[in-house]
Amino acid sequence: MKISSQLLEKYFKGLCTDEEAELVAAWLEDEGASETDAWFEEKKREAEEEQVTGKGKVRTIHPGYGVAAAVLVLMSLLGWLWQQAGQRSGVKMANLSDTIRNNSNTIRLVHMADGSKIWLNAYSTIIYKKNFSVSNRDLWLNGEAYFEVGKNADFPFRVHTAALITTALGTSFNIATGNKADGSIQVSLLEGKVAVTDTLSGGSFHYVLEPGQMLEYKEGLQPAKPYAFNKTSTLDWKNYKVIFDRTLLTDAFALLESRYNCRISIGDTTLRNRMISGSFSAAQPVSSILDALGYVHSFSYTFDERNNHYTIKRK
Residue 121 has pLDDT above 60, yes or no: yes
Last residue of a domain, one of 171, 200, 232: 232
Check residue 252 and give its pLDDT: 95
Report how far Cα 199 is from the mean position of its chain's Cα atoms. 24
Last residue of a domain, one of 165, 200, 232: 232
- Long-range (24+ apart) CB contacts under 8 A made by 228-237 are 229/186, 229/188, 231/188, 231/190, 232/25, 234/174, 234/186, 234/188, 235/146, 235/174, 235/188, 235/190, 236/279, 236/282, 237/107, 237/121, 237/122, 237/144, 237/282
Q: How confident is the model over 145-169, as pLDDT tens digits?
A: 999 999 887 889 999 998 899 999 7
Same domain? 85 vs 212: yes
Q: How confident is the model over 73-118, as pLDDT tens digits?
A: 233 333 334 444 444 333 333 344 588 999 998 999 999 989 999 9
Last residue of a domain, one of 210, 232, 254: 232
Amino acid letter for position 235: L
66 inside domain: no
Indicate which CATH number applies to the domain containing 42.
Answer: 3.55.50.30
136 inside domain: yes
Q: How confident is the model over 170-199, as pLDDT tens digits?
A: 799 999 999 999 999 999 999 999 999 987
Structural domain harbouring 24: 5-61+240-314
Check residue 68 and give its pLDDT: 27
Contact 289, 280 (CB under 8 A): yes
Same domain? 219 vs 80: yes
Same domain? 120 vs 203: yes
Same domain? 39 vs 184: no
* SS3 call for 147: strand
Length, in residues, of the chain: 315
Query: What end-to-end distance do the CA atoms of the chain give, in Å?
Result: 35
Same domain? 191 vs 218: yes
Q: pLDDT band at residue 232, thresholds of 50, 70 and 90? A: very high
Check residue 282 and give its pLDDT: 93
Same domain? 155 vs 209: yes
Same domain? 212 vs 84: yes
* SS3 call for 291: helix
pTM value is: 0.69
What's the helix, strand, coil split of the chain in %, to 5?
A: 30, 30, 40
Q: pLDDT band at residue 31, thresholds of 50, 70 and 90? A: low
Per the structure, the count of domains in the chain is 2
Report how far Cα 246 is from the mean position of its chain's Cα atoms. 14
In terms of DSSP bridges, do strands 309-314 and 263-266 run parallel, antiparallel, or are they unpaired?
parallel
